[in-house]
């Protein structure tokens, strides 16, 4: 498996936003929270948010945490590609002219954080910079899926025309809702974006005013924000990598909310304290079992199918996660994405798995209880997992036991986080356990892109069935046609997966409700998102919802 290093970077940074902590709702009653509790958009001086990782000065070419980037940068539409109909943001409107042409009108009167005017030139520059420059987490939405060939500004100076290389019916609701806009007057002079180290300048509700590596971030409210003055004047984000230290800091009042979700074993600790609330948010990430499909036996699609059939996903949830996640029985992509086939199924069927392995010639010829390869060689499969994710380690260990039921010998290889990342990036693995976030498993364009990005598949490797479906997808000129074709693509993939969905982790956030109780959920971003700190009218316009509060 040629695991592209650019894709690894994307995978790991996406996972930062949705770090697994085996969290979920308790068996107590739940109720809807009300955003009224913050008191008619009253403001507070400072809120402290514990951050688990350092992602640099918010240069999206070297480190990206979607919700944090979104605090500083804006997009043409908001909040994300994970809702049915995003809201105009930096854009006033977007109109499809024909199957491969869109017209966008941008807003007047918006300023960059350094006081310069935001204009259509910034939009044109950003999209061309993404398309023609080095790859980052966003660039494929311009250079490949979809492919934007030409961008022109009309005579009025605020209207842009986007010409796609093939039909692009979802440009408004996917691409325009995903790409942060950069200031041309700054980035136009940056030849190597990966070496740019200045603090990010955006148009968003918060200005990044201080960053100390491995220590903290400070964000100050953009009081002139075009969508309303933020309700918190300053956000301080100390970096606390250790989970135990993070929750100790929350309990002791050193931080007001943790961006790391609460593990099941700590739910009662916070639910018993009257100062805290626990908010459950809809998750759009998947903990997956990745297979190196470029080497035997995983290069055989029937073997991959047999492995998927051998995994009791519900047992993983019940045993390791104490029932506080959903079993990955609907496979990949995430079932809560509006773009996912609701009929997907990845069943647990040991009988069928054994039958498929028998047909492939994998048999126990020496009577030791484990199958050998068709040519009689011993078969032992390694699952690589990061020691920094103890829950994943337990998941891998349980899978080792489960695969014994089909005669496959697996072993869990626990590596320190740095070594683990290096092994994945260097293609040094047979299988692995990891988390992938919303951009990977809720964005329909990314699902297509992943089949040429050395993640779900590698460009150039034969895959005629998938290639044919993708060709039909690119030719489709309506969203509904695209969606139906994507459903077929997803069905094919889940029948012979290269990354097997194990479970859909629940997210529970703990926060000091006495200090601040204005959080809202933005699908895919949890409750730590910029809309939690914007006026209620803005929240409603951006498709946010009140989080579910665990009693």
Query: Where do the domains of the chain lie?
Result: 13-73+204-283+506-550, 77-187, 288-436+454-505
Cβ contacts of residue 454 below 8 Å, gap of 6+? Answer: 1, 2, 3, 4, 7
- Fold agreement (13-73+204-283+506-550, 288-436+454-505): no
Grouped pLDDT means (10 residues each) for the chain, 551 residues: 40 36 33 39 89 93 90 97 93 97 98 98 97 90 94 98 97 96 96 93 98 97 97 97 92 96 90 94 92 97 98 97 93 94 97 98 96 97 92 96 98 94 92 94 92 91 96 95 96 97 94 96 93 94 90 70
Measured between alpha carbons, how far is 107 from 104 in angstroms, rounded to an integer?
10
Q: What is the pLDDT of residue 388?
A: 80
Tokens of 501: 């969905």
CATH superfamily of 77-187: Dipeptide-binding Protein; Domain 1 (3.90.76.10)
Q: What is the pLDDT of residue 16?
A: 36
Global pTM value: 0.86
The pairing of strands 380-386 and 431-436 is: parallel
Query: Among residues 453, 459, 532, which one has the least CA distance to residue 14?
Result: 453
Q: What is the pLDDT of residue 355?
A: 98
CATH superfamily of 288-436+454-505: Dipeptide-binding Protein; Domain 3 (3.10.105.10)
Task: For the chain, state the CA radius of gyration.
Answer: 24
Tokens of 66: 């979607």
φ/ψ region of 350 (left if φ > 0, alpha if ψ in -120 to 50, else beta) reads alpha
The count of other CB atoms within 10 Å of the CB of residue 207 is 22
CA atoms within 13 A on the CB side of 374: 10
Identify whether the C-beta of residue 218 lies closer than 8 Å to the C-beta of residue 209. yes
Q: What is the pLDDT of residue 17?
A: 36
Query: Among residues 264, 227, 339, which one has the least CA distance to residue 26?
Result: 264
Cα 411-417-419 angle, rounded to 5 deg: 75
CATH superfamily of 13-73+204-283+506-550: Periplasmic binding protein-like II (3.40.190.10)
Measured between alpha carbons, how far is 261 from 251 in angstroms, rounded to an integer?
14
Identify whether the C-beta of residue 203 lies closer than 8 Å to the C-beta of residue 112. yes
Q: What is the pLDDT of residue 41?
A: 64
Identify whether the C-beta of residue 435 lies closer than 8 Å to the C-beta of residue 285. yes
The pairing of strands 276-281 and 507-512 is: antiparallel
Cα 332-337-340 angle, rounded to 5 deg: 50
Measured between alpha carbons, how far is 102 from 435 in angstroms, rounded to an integer?
35
Helix (H, G, I), strand (E, B) or coil at 347: coil
Q: What is the pLDDT of residue 289?
A: 98
């Amino acid at each position: 498996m040629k695991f592209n290093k650019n894709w690894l970077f994307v995978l790991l940074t996406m996972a930062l936003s949705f770090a697994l902590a085996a969290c979920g709702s308790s068996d107590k009653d739940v109720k809807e929270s009300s955003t009224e509790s913050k008191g008619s958009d009253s403001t507070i001086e400072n809120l402290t948010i514990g951050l688990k990782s350092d992602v640099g000065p918010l240069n999206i070419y070297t480190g990206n945490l979607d919700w944090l980037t979104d605090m500083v940068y804006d997009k043409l539409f908001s909040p994300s590609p994970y809702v049915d109909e995003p809201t105009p943001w930096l854009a006033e409107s977007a109109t499809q002219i024909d199957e491969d042409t869109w017209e966008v009108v941008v807003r007047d009167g918006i300023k960059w954080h350094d006081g310069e005017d935001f204009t259509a030139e910034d939009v044109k520059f950003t999209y061309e910079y993404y398309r023609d420059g080095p790859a980052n987490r966003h660039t494929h939405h311009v250079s490949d899926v979809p492919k934007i060939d030409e961008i022109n500004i009309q005579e009025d100076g605020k209207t842009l025309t986007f010409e796609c290389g093939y039909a692009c019916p979802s440009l408004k609701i996917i691409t325009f809702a995903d790409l942060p806009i950069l200031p041309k007057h700054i980035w136009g002079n940056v030849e190597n974006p990966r070496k740019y180290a200045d603090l990010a300048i955006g148009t968003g509700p918060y200005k990044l005013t201080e960053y100390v590596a491995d220590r903290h971030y400070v964000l100050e409210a953009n009081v002139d924000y075009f969508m309303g003055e933020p309700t918190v004047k300053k956000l301080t984000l100390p970096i606390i990598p250790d989970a135990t230290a993070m929750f100790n800091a929350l309990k002791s009042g050193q931080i007001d909310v943790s961006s790391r979700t609460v593990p099941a074993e700590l739910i009662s600790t916070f639910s018993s304290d009257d100062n805290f609330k626990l908010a459950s948010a809809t998750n759009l990430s998947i903990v997956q079992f990745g297979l190196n499909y470029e080497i035997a036996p995983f290069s055989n699609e029937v073997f991959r199918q047999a492995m998927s059939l051998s995994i009791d996903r519900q047992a993983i949830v019940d045993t390791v996660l104490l029932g506080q996640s959903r079993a990955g029985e609907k496979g990949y992509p995430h079932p809560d994405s509006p773009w996912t086939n609701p009929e997907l199924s990845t069943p647990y069927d040991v009988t069928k798995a054994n039958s498929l392995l028998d047909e492939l010639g994998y048999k126990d010829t020496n009577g030791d209880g484990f199958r050998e390869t068709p040519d009689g060689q011993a078969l032992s499969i390694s699952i690589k997992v990061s020691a920094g994710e103890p829950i994943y380690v337990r998941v891998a260990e349980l899978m080792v036991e489960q695969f014994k039921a089909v005669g496959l010998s697996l072993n869990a290889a626990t590596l320190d986080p740095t070594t683990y990342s290096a092994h994945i990036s260097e293609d040094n693995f047979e299988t692995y356990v990891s988390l992938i976030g919303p951009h990977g498993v809720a964005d329909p364009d990314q699902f297509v892109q992943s089949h040429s990005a050395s993640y779900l598949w590698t460009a150039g490797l034969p895959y005629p069935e998938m290639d044919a479906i993708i060709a039909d997808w690119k030719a489709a000129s309506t969203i509904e046609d695209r969606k139906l074709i994507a459903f077929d693509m997803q069905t094919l993939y889940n029948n012979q997966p290269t990354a097997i969905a194990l479970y859909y982790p629940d997210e529970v956030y703990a926060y000091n409700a006495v200090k601040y109780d204005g959080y809202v959920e933005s699908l895919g971003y949890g409750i730590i998102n910029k809309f939690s700190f914007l006026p209620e009218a803005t929240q409603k316009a951006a498709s946010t919802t009140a989080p579910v509060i665990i009693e």
